[in-house]
Structure 1
Amino acid sequence: MKKIILIFFFASTCLHGRAQSITDSIQVLDEIVLSDSKLIHYASGVNQSVLNDSILKNNSRSLTSLLAFNSNLYFKENGYGMVSSPSFRGTNASQTAVIWNGININSQLNGQADFNTLSSSNFNSISIRSGGGSVQYGSGAIGGSIHLNNKLAFNTHFENTVEASYGSFNTKQTGFKSSFGTNLFSVNFGLFYVDSDNDYKFLGTNKVNENGAFENLNLNVNLGYFISKNDVLKLYSQSYIGEREFSGTLVAPARSKYEDENYRNMLEWVRISGMFNSSLKAGHLQEVFKYFENKNTDNYTFGKVNTYFINHSLNVRLSEKLQFKTILDYNSYEGAGSSFGNPKRDAFSTTILLNHKVTEKLSYGLNLRKDFTSGFESPFVYSLDAAYQVTDTYKILMNGSKNYRVPTFNDLYWNPGGNLDLVPESSYQLDFGQQLHFEYFNFKLNGYYIHTEDLIQWTPNNSGVWSPKNVTESQSYGAELEMESYYRVKAHQFKFNAHYSYTVSENMETKKQLIYVPFHKANTSFSYGHKKFNMYYQHMYNGEVSIIGSTLTGYNVGNMGLGYSLNENGHINYEINFKINNLYNTYYENVALRPMPNRNYQIQTIIKF
C-alpha cells in the first residue's frame, strides 16, 4: 500500500509540473488561502452557512454558544463549561464531524468533539455544512459537519488584537491575536486563556455549582511561505490544555476532575501549475486525558491516542466548466489507556470528486470513496449533488449520499463493556433545498431524510454494565429554515438572522423519538450599529426533549450586548463591550438534573493596533 501511495505522489507531481495552461486567478486564491478547498469547489448542491465576523465577535466565549445561538444545531452540556455534544438533524455527537483545515478531528476514543475545548476565537472562518459528507470527510460525517479554518492572507499587512474580559462567577478571559505578512509569506498567531470559578446558583434551590471550576489555554499558530512562484508551504498548529472539575447534579454532588490536552500539527505543500493543482498534507494529532474520581487524590485513569496522517489531493481543471479531484489518504492510530489497552488501527481511502457546470444555471457533482480499515469492511460510499439557478433570485439544491461511521476505540475495547463484534454504521440521506437571494434578504429552506442501519448505542446489560451494540434501524426527517437580512441607511446598520428546525428522529422498531432530540428548535438575533455604537440581542428556544423515563421541559433564553468604539480613526482603536447572558434569569437544563447558569454578566475590552 505504501508503494502505491508513493508512486501516485510521484506520478501526479511530474504530471502537473509539465502543464503550461494559464492558471485561473480565483481558483489559485482559493487553493492557497483555504486549506479545505473541497468546501468551495465540490458542494454545489449542499446547503452551507458561513458565520461572519460580527457573529464570531458577539459569541467569543465558546464555540458551543456560537453555534447554539446561530445555527440549527442542538447542544447538550453537562453544566456550563463541561462536556458539550452537538446533535445535527437528529443524529448524535459522533455522527457530526468537526473538520480542522480539511482534517477530521473527531476523537478516536468516543467519536466526538467536545465543543467546549474549541475556542471560536482561534479561527477566522467557521462554516456549517448540512447533511452527509462521508465521501469528503470520512467516518462520522452523517448529520453534518462543522468546518474550522485558518485563512492565510498573502498581502502586506500587520494587525494585532488584545482582548480582556471579566464576568460573573469570577470568569476571566484574556487573548492576543496577531497577523502579518507580505505577498511571499503570511503568519497568524492566537493565544487565549480562560479561568472561571463557575460557581453559579441553581435557581429555585439553595445550591450552587460547587465542583464546576475550569481553566484552559488555546494556542494557535499558522504560517505560509511561497518557496517558488508555484509552490507554497503552510504550517498549521493548534494546542489546547485544559483542567475541569466535573459538575455534579441536583441530587448527586461531585468531586471529580478531568485534565485533557489536544495537539494538532499539519504541514501542507501546495503546488499550482496550469490546469493542475496539488496538495500534500502530513501531520500528527494527539489527544490525552486524565480522569480523577477524587480531585484531592493522585489516583487517576488515563487515555491517549496518536494519529499520524498523510494526504495527497490532485485537482485537474479540464475547462472552466469541468474539474475533478483525486484524494489518497492514509491514517495510523495508536492508542493507550487504563480502560482500553493499546489498540492500533490503520485506514487508507481513495476518493474521486467531480464537478461539472453544465450551463450558467445548472451544475452537479459526483463523489466516490472507498475505505480500507484494519479490522473492518468499510462500506463503499458515494454522493450526488446538483444545483439549478431558476432565476436570478431563486435557486434549487438537491443531494443524496451514503455515509458511514466506524466503531471507536471505546466502542470496541472499553473494559468493561467493549464489543469486538460491532460493525460500522451506514446511512442514506436525501436532501432538497430552496434558496431566495435578494439585495437585503436571504432565505433558505431544506427538507431531508436520513436512514441509518446498524446504529451503535450503549445500553446496560443484565449485569448493569453498559455496552455498545448495533441496534435496530433509525430514521430522521424534518425541515430547516434560515433567514438573513442586512440593511444600511446612511450611518445606521441593521442585521437580522433566524433559524428554525423541525426534527423527527426515531427508533424504527419502537417508533419513539430518540433521547435528547427536540422536535422544535429556533433562534434569532438582531444587531444595530451607528457610528461608534453597536448593540445586539439574541434569543434561543429549545423544545421539549425525551430522556430515559421522562422528558425535559423546553426553554427560552435571551442574551443582550452593548458596545462602544473609541479612537476609531487612530492607530490604536479601543472597544468596550458589555453583555448580559440569560437575560430573563431562566431556569433550564439541557441535560437532566444539570442546571445551566442564572443571569450573568461580562465586560470586555478589545484593543486593535
Structure 2
Amino acid sequence: MNKTPLFSLLVFLSLNSAFAQENPIIKLKEVVVSDIRLKRYAEGHKVTELRDSTIRRQNNSLTSLLAFNSNIYFKENGYGMVSSPAFRGTNASHTAVIWNGININSQLNGQVDFNTIDPLSYNSIGIRSGGGSVQYGSGAIGGSVHLNNDLRFDPHFDHRVVLGYGSFETKNINYTQSYGDSRWSSNFGVNYKKSDNDYKYLKNDEKNVNGEFGQLNFNFNAGYVLSEKQVLRLYHQSFIGDRNLSGTLVSVGRSKYKDNHYRTQLEWGRFGEKTISKVKVAYLQEEFRYYENKDSDNHSFGKVSTFLARYSLDMKLSKAFRLNSFLEFDNYKGEGDSFGNPNRNDFSATALLKHQVSPKLAYNISLRQDFSSDYSSPLVFSLDGKYTVNKHYDIQLNASKNFRTPTFNDLYWQPGGNLDLLAEQSYQVDLGHRLQFGGVTFNLNGYYITTKDMIKWLPGSNGIWSPINIDDVRIYGAEGELGLGYDIGKHQKVAFKANYAYTVSEDQTTKEQLIYVPFHKANASFSYSVSNFNVFYQHLYNGPVSIIGGELDGYDVANVGINYSGTLQKKIKYTLGLSFNNVYDTYYENIALRPMPNRNIQSQLILNF
C-alpha cells in the first residue's frame, strides 16, 4: 500500500515538467467531481441521479434505496445479508459499481455486495442504464451504479449527525463533516450500524436465527488547488464487516463471514483552456474470512490487492469536437485458500470522440481495447447520441459492444477453475424518449441485449462444479419513469415518482426466463410537505420469478413515514423522522426459503450545524 503515494508523486513530478505551459485560471466547477465522463460523454444514455434528500430518507441500505427508487431488482439472502443486483435481466456481475470514477467490482466473484455500501457516505448516487464497458470496463453490461463524493471549493464548515434506532435492536450512527475554502476542500464521514436482526417469520413461530451483523464505514476525501492550473484530490474509504449468515426455513444458520474493503485513490489534474490532463493512481484491497461454524476458529481466507494507474487527456479540438482518451494499467494479486496466489496484469486503451453537430444534436463514438496476461479480450465500442426535438422532447440512442472478464474464482478456484475461459461479450441497443412539461417528466426506454460466451458454473461428470463459456442469452424489455413535482401555495409541495420495468431474459438453449429475473417490477413514491412536516409513502412490486424447480411468488411491500424539521438556537437544524417499513406486514422472499422482515419501525434524528 505504501507504493501508491510514491508512484503518484513520481508521475506527478514528471507530468508537471512536461506540461509547463501557461494556461488561464481554472474554473472550479471542473474540479468538484471525479467522474466527469458520467455527464460529459453520456448524451445517449439514461442517467438517473439520487441526491442527498432521497438518500437520507432511505439510508438503511443501498439495496433498499435502489430497490424503491430505480428499476434494478435485488436478491437478498435475508435482511443485511449478501445482496446482488439484476439490472435489465443480467446477473450480479453484469452491474458495474463505479466509485469516484473507478470500477470496484470484486476480482473474486465479479460483483459488489450492495449491503456493504453505506448510502450516507456519498453526496449523490448515479444510475446509468445500458452498456458502458468502453468507459467503465468489465461488467458494465446491464448498467452501472456510480458512487460520488463531491468536493466543494467554497467557504463552508458543515457538520451532520444522524442517529437511528429501530426494530430488531437496529442501531445506526453517522457523523459527517465538510470543510472548504477557495483552495482546499475536504469531507470526512464515519458510519456504524449494528442489528440483532432477529425478526419473526410471519408464517410460523420461528425467528431469523443467526442474522446478527455489524459494520463500520469510514471515508475521507480532500482536494487542494496547487496553482491556477493544477488540482490534487484524494479519496479514501474503509469498510469493516462482521456478520453471521442467516439460516433458511429448512436449515439453521451457524456460519459467520468477515470482510474488509480498503480503497484509496489519488488524482492530479491540470486544467488548461483546451485540455484537461489527469493522472490517477489507486490501491484497492478486499479480503474475507468465512467460518463454517461461528464457534470455531477454523475458517477459509481470501484476499485480492489491486493497483491501478491511469492517464487521461481531454481535448477540445474545436467548437464542435472534443476528444477524451486514457491509458490504464491494472495489477491484481490474489492470495487464498481456494485459489492460490494468482497475479494478473491488464492494460487498456480508450478513446471517446464527442461531436456537437448543432445545439440540438450531439453524439459520441468510443473505442476500447484491453490486453490481459490471463485471457483474450475483445475490442469494444459504443455509439450514443441525443437529438432535442423541442424544449419538451428529446430522443436518445445508444448501441455498444461490452464485456466481462473472468474473475479469480472463475480461473483459479480449486477444484474447478478453468484457465481457458474467454471474456463474455454482449451487444446492446437502447432507444429512449424524454418528455418534460413544467413539473412533469416522463422517460421511456426500449432495449435489446444479446450475450455470447456467458460464463456459467456447471457440475462435471466427476461431480465437481466448473465454469465454462456456454450460455447465449437474449434480453429485451422496456422501462418507464414518471416524475411530478409541484409547489402548492407558499409552504406546500407534493412530489410523485414511479418506475416500471418489463424484462424478458431468455436462455436461448432452454427458451426459458433466467432464474430470479421478474417479468414485471414497479415502484412508486409520494411525498407531501407542509411547513415543517413531510409525509411520504413508498410502494414496491416485484413480480414472480423462476427458481430451480419452480416459481417464487411476487410481492407488494410498502413503507410510510413522517418527518418534522426545525431549528435550535438559530444554528442547529434538526429533523425527527419515524418510518414504518413493510407497513402491510407482507410475507415475502426474494431468495427462496429466506423470509424478509415483517412490519418494523425505524426512528431517526438528523442534526445539521
CA distance in 1, matches of 2:189, 2:444: 36
CA distance in 2, matches of 1:364, 1:273: 24
Task: Provide, for residues 86-122 of structure 1, a one-character-per-residue CA deviation record: whole Å limited to 9, x for no partner.
Answer: 0000000101000000000000000000000000000
Cα distance change on mapping 1:459 and 1:68 into 2, 3 Å: same
1:413 Cα deviation after fit:
1.0
- In the other structure, the counterpart of 2:552 is 552
- Pairwise CA RMSD of aligned residues? 1.7
| Equivalent pair of 1:458/1:466 in contact (CA under 8 Å) | yes
- In the other structure, the counterpart of 1:143 is 142
Correspondence 1:235-246 to 2 at 5 A:
235-246=234-245
CA distance in 2, matches of 1:248, 1:509: 33
| Equivalent pair of 1:132/1:142 in contact (CA under 8 Å) | yes
Task: Provide, for residues 537-572 of structure 1, a one-character-per-residue CA deviation record: whole Å limited to 9, x for no partner.
Answer: 100000000001111000000001111112278101
- In the other structure, the counterpart of 2:595 is 595
- In the other structure, the counterpart of 1:497 is 497
1:464 Cα deviation after fit:
3.4
| Equivalent pair of 1:193/1:218 in contact (CA under 8 Å) | yes
Q: Which amino acid aligns with 1:227?
A: L
CA distance in 2, matches of 1:508, 1:568: 62
Task: Provide, for residues 237-271 of structure 1, a one-character-per-residue CA deviation record: whole Å limited to 9, x for no partner.
Answer: 00000101000100011100000000000011011
Correspondence 1:134-283 to 2 at 5 A:
134-283=133-282
- Say which SS state the counterpart of residue 366 (structure 2) adopts: strand
- Say which SS state the counterpart of residue 410 (structure 2) adopts: helix
CA distance in 2, matches of 1:320, 1:172: 54
CA distance in 1, matches of 2:223, 2:329: 24
| Bigger mean CA offset, 562-571 vs 362-371 | 562-571
| Equivalent pair of 2:230/2:271 in contact (CA under 8 Å) | yes
Q: Which amino acid aligns with 2:521?
A: K
- In the other structure, the counterpart of 2:127 is 128
- In the other structure, the counterpart of 1:571 is 571
1:460 Cα deviation after fit:
2.4
CA distance in 2, matches of 1:504, 1:258: 34
Q: What's the TM-score, normalizing by structure 1?
A: 0.96
1:143 Cα deviation after fit:
0.5
- Say which SS state the counterpart of residue 390 (structure 2) adopts: coil
Correspondence 1:109-128 to 2 at 5 A:
109-128=108-127
1:274 Cα deviation after fit:
1.4
Q: Which amino acid aligns with 2:308?
A: F
- Say which SS state the counterpart of residue 153 (structure 1) adopts: coil
1:463 Cα deviation after fit:
3.7
- Say which SS state the counterpart of residue 390 (structure 1) adopts: strand
| Bigger mean CA offset, 223-232 vs 296-305 | 223-232
Correspondence 1:38-57 to 2 at 5 A:
38-57=37-56
- Say which SS state the counterpart of residue 249 (structure 1) adopts: coil
1:312 Cα deviation after fit:
0.9
Does 2:30 correspond to 1:18? Answer: no
CA distance in 2, matches of 1:54, 1:584: 25
CA distance in 2, matches of 1:455, 1:199: 38
CA distance in 2, matches of 1:264, 1:488: 42
1:385 Cα deviation after fit:
0.5
- Structure 2 unaligned runs (5+)? 1-7
Correspondence 1:402-481 to 2 at 5 A:
402-481=401-480
CA distance in 2, matches of 1:568, 1:386: 49
Q: Which amino acid aligns with 2:505?
A: S
1:418 Cα deviation after fit:
1.4
Q: Which amino acid aligns with 1:251?
A: V
Q: Which amino acid aligns with 2:147?
A: L
- Say which SS state the counterpart of residue 358 (structure 1) adopts: strand
Task: Provide, for residues 255-290 of structure 1, a one-character-per-residue CA deviation record: whole Å limited to 9, x for no partner.
Answer: 000000000000110111211111111110000100
1:52 Cα deviation after fit:
2.3
Task: Provide, for residues 194-242 of structure 1, a one-character-per-residue CA deviation record: whole Å limited to 9, x for no partner.
Answer: 0000000111111101110000000010011111111111110000001
Q: Which amino acid aligns with 2:412?
A: Y
- In the other structure, the counterpart of 1:297 is 296
| Equivalent pair of 2:248/2:593 in contact (CA under 8 Å) | yes
Does 2:366 correspond to 1:363? Answer: no
CA distance in 2, matches of 1:462, 1:595: 34
| Equivalent pair of 1:394/1:437 in contact (CA under 8 Å) | yes
Cα distance change on mapping 1:349 and 1:8 into 2, 3 Å: farther
- Structure 1 unaligned runs (5+)? none
1:18 Cα deviation after fit:
2.9
CA distance in 2, matches of 1:607, 1:154: 23
Q: Which amino acid aligns with 1:390?
A: V
Cα distance change on mapping 1:205 and 1:130 into 2, 3 Å: same
| Equivalent pair of 2:314/2:322 in contact (CA under 8 Å) | yes
Task: Provide, for residues 303-338 of structure 1, a one-character-per-residue CA deviation record: whole Å limited to 9, x for no partner.
Answer: 000000111111101234321111011100000000
Q: What's the TM-score, normalizing by structure 2?
A: 0.96
CA distance in 1, matches of 2:416, 2:376: 22
| Equivalent pair of 2:28/2:153 in contact (CA under 8 Å) | no
CA distance in 2, matches of 1:535, 1:569: 25
- Report percent identity of matched pairs: 55
Aligned pair count?
601
Does 2:489 correspond to 1:486? Answer: no
| Equivalent pair of 2:448/2:477 in contact (CA under 8 Å) | yes
Does 2:609 correspond to 1:606? Answer: no
CA distance in 1, matches of 2:457, 2:295: 30
Cα distance change on mapping 1:153 and 1:7 into 2, 3 Å: closer
| Equivalent pair of 1:12/1:314 in contact (CA under 8 Å) | no
- Say which SS state the counterpart of residue 227 (structure 2) adopts: coil
- Say which SS state the counterpart of residue 559 (structure 2) adopts: strand
Q: Which amino acid aligns with 1:417?
A: G
Q: Which amino acid aligns with 1:565?
A: S
Q: Which amino acid aligns with 2:535?
A: M
CA distance in 2, matches of 1:358, 1:566: 50
1:55 Cα deviation after fit:
1.2
CA distance in 1, matches of 2:218, 2:603: 23
| Equivalent pair of 1:19/1:274 in contact (CA under 8 Å) | no
